[in-house]
Amino acid sequence: MLLLMIPTAGSVYPVPDVPVLYFPYLFLAYLVIGVAWILSVRFRKPSTATMIKEHIGSILPAVQRAG
Return the pLDDT at 36.
97
What is the residue-level pLDDT of the chain in tens, covering all 67 positions? 788 888 888 877 888 888 888 988 999 999 999 999 999 988 999 999 889 889 999 998 888 888 6
Angstrom distance (rounded) from CA 49 to CA 51: 5
Q: Which amino acid is at 36?
A: A
pLDDT of residue 62: 85
- What is the Cβ-side half-sphere exposure of residue 65, based on CA atoms within 13 angstroms? 5
Distances (CA, A) of 44 to 21, 37, 57, 63: 36, 10, 22, 30
Give the pLDDT confidence score for residue 31 in this predicted structure. 97
